[in-house]
C-alpha cells in the first residue's frame, strides 16, 4: 500500500471514528471510564515494577521511591475512577484546573515581558472555570469530552484527506512543469 493510500485510509478512519463517537456517545461513556481506569492502573503497576527492579544505587534511591509512590497513587486513582461514577469528571476537572493555574501563574510571572499576557491570563481563568464546571456538572463532563474528541477526529480526518488531495495536485503540477521544461530543452537543442 502506498503512503498516499495509507494516509487517506487513516484520515477516513479518523473521520468515521469521529462520526461514531458523536452518534453513539451515550453508550461509550461507561466503556471510556473503564478503559481510562484500567489504563491508569496498568501505568501505575508499570511504575511500581520499574521502581522495584531499578538499580539500588544511592543516586537513584530518591527517584525509585518517587516512582514507587507515583505508581501507588496511579493505581489508587485508577481504582477510584472505576469505583466512583463521578471520579472521571473530577479527574478531567482537576486536569483543567491544574493546567489553568499553571498558565495563570506563567502569565502573571511574565506580564512585564509578554505583551499578550492579558490574553493568556483570561484564557487561564476560562480553563480553570471549565475545570470547576466539569467537577460540578460531572455527568456533563464525559459526554463533552466525547463530543470534543469526536469533532477533533472528524476535523483531523477531513484535514488529512484535503492534505493528500492537495499534495496530489501539487505533485501533478510539478511533474507537468518538469515534462514541459524537458520538452522545451529538447526542442531548443
In a domain, 64, yes or no: no
Mean pLDDT over 144-148 rounds to 78
- DSSP H or E run through 2: none
Residue 172 has pLDDT above 80, yes or no: no
Mean pLDDT of 173-181: 69
| Total domain count, the chain | 1
pTM, rounded to two decimals: 0.49
- Beta-carbon contacts of residue 57 (< 8 Å; ≥ 6 apart): none
Residue 107 in domain? yes
126 in a domain, yes or no? yes
- Residue 56: predicted pLDDT: 59
Q: Is residue 6 in a domain?
A: no
Contact of 154 with 102, CB cutoff 8 Å:
no
Range of the domain at 97: 90-136
Amino acid at each position: 500500500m502506498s503512503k498516499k493510500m495509507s494516509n487517506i485510509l487513516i484520515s477516513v478512519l479518523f473521520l468515521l471514528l469521529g462520526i461514531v463517537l458523536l452518534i453513539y456517545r451515550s453508550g461509550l461513556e461507561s466503556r471510556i471510564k473503564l478503559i481510562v481506569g484500567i489504563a491508569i492502573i496498568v501505568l501505575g503497576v508499570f511504575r511500581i515494577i520499574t521502581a522495584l527492579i531499578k538499580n539500588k544505587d544511592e543516586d537513584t534511591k530518591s527517584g525509585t521511591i518517587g516512582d514507587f509512590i507515583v505508581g501507588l497513587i496511579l493505581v489508587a486513582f485508577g481504582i477510584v475512577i472505576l469505583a466512583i461514577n463521578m471520579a472521571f469528571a473530577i479527574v478531567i476537572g482537576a486536569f483543567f484546573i491544574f493546567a489553568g493555574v499553571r498558565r495563570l501563574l506563567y502569565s502573571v510571572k511574565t506580564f512585564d515581558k509578554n505583551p499578550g499576557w492579558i490574553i493568556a491570563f483570561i484564557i487561564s481563568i476560562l480553563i480553570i472555570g471549565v475545570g470547576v464546571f466539569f467537577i460540578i456538572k460531572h455527568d456533563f463532563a464525559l459526554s463533552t469530552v466525547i463530543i470534543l474528541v469526536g469533532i477533533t477526529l472528524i476535523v483531523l480526518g477531513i484535514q488529512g484527506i484535503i492534505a493528500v488531495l492537495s499534495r496530489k495536485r501539487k505533485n501533478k503540477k510539478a511533474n507537468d512543469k518538469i515534462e514541459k521544461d524537458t520538452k522545451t530543452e529538447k526542442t531548443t537543442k
